[in-house]
Amino acid sequence: MRTDTSLQEARKVLSAVPYFADLDAQSLETITRSAIPHNYEPDELVILEGEPAVGLYVVKSGWLKVSKIVVDGREQILQFLGSGEVFNAVSVFSGAPNPASVTALETTRLWMVGRDTMLKLLDSNPRLARLVILDLAGRITHLISLVEDLSLRSVEARLARLLLEQSTGDTVQRKKWATQTKMASRLGTVPDVVSRTLRKLADLGLIQVDRQEIRILNRPELEMIAGIER
């Protein structure tokens, strides 16, 4: 039986998700009581590419990676997921198998809302349906941008864009799992190239690389390299 503490946690986490923020009290309570908590340790697989979708996941705490294994056996990381983010929406609402694998990068706690619950709620809540459509459109835009990056931009431009996207203010915090190997998998290259490119950006005075963080010293120049229009 679900404890009051567990229900309170589920309600707090789910009500903060844009999908559910404006739901009526009864619908939110239905989702809260159906949600199942899951805990994962570093490197533990959450979702396997090609398997049927069982539900929509919300990240309570921790970090995960969304990835695919490309033809030559290399890993292509599509996205990093952190607290408050939602994943597996495409499979849940389309009925298609999981399009990618999701793996915990550190100790992670998730809440999962079953596919049947989500579909029933979608049928009875037009506002939720609109929010889902907007979210899925955003995910398509993200993937198009990723394809554009990998096919049309240099590693230097892709790295500059990644640093800008991951920065809070002018600082990129370096998680323990955020190795140059992980960064290379996200950028579609190899660790040695990432290392050389970081050094080049540092030598140009655009960034400062420390053990626990990367500081952006010249944002306008970094944006120009990334191809971001101000």
pLDDT tens profile 23-32: 888 888 888 9
| Number of residues assigned to the chain | 230
Domain final position from 127, 151, 175 = 151
Answer yes or no: do 82 and 127 share one domain: yes
Question: Which residue, 151, 167, 188, sits at the end of a domain?
Answer: 151
**Are 88 and 94 in contact, with CB atoms under 8 Å apart?**
no
Same domain, 117 and 132: yes
How are strands ordered across the β-sheet holding 86-87? 36-40, 108-114, 55-61, 86-87
- If asked whether residues 8 and 59 sit together in one domain, one would say yes
Round to whole Å and give the CA distance between 58 and 92. 13
Last residue of a domain, one of 133, 151, 169: 151
- Say yes or no: 120 and 25 in one domain: yes
**pLDDT score of 1:** 53
Together in a domain, 73 and 10? yes
Whole-prediction pTM? 0.82
Domain count, the chain: 2
Domain residue limits at 194: 154-226
**CATH, residue 125:** 2.60.120.10
pLDDT tens digits in sequence order for the chain, 230 residues long: 567 788 899 999 998 988 888 788 888 888 899 999 999 999 999 999 999 999 999 999 999 999 998 777 788 899 899 999 999 988 998 889 999 999 999 999 999 999 999 998 888 888 888 888 888 888 888 778 878 877 888 999 999 999 998 999 999 999 889 889 999 998 989 999 999 999 999 999 999 999 899 999 999 999 999 988 76
The set of long-range contacts for 169-172, using a CB threshold of 8 Å and a minimum separation of 24, is: 170/215, 170/216, 170/217, 170/219, 171/213, 171/214, 171/215, 171/216, 172/213, 172/214, 172/215, 172/216
Q: Are residues 122 and 198 in the same domain?
A: no
Q: Does residue 126 sit in the same domain as residue 13?
A: yes
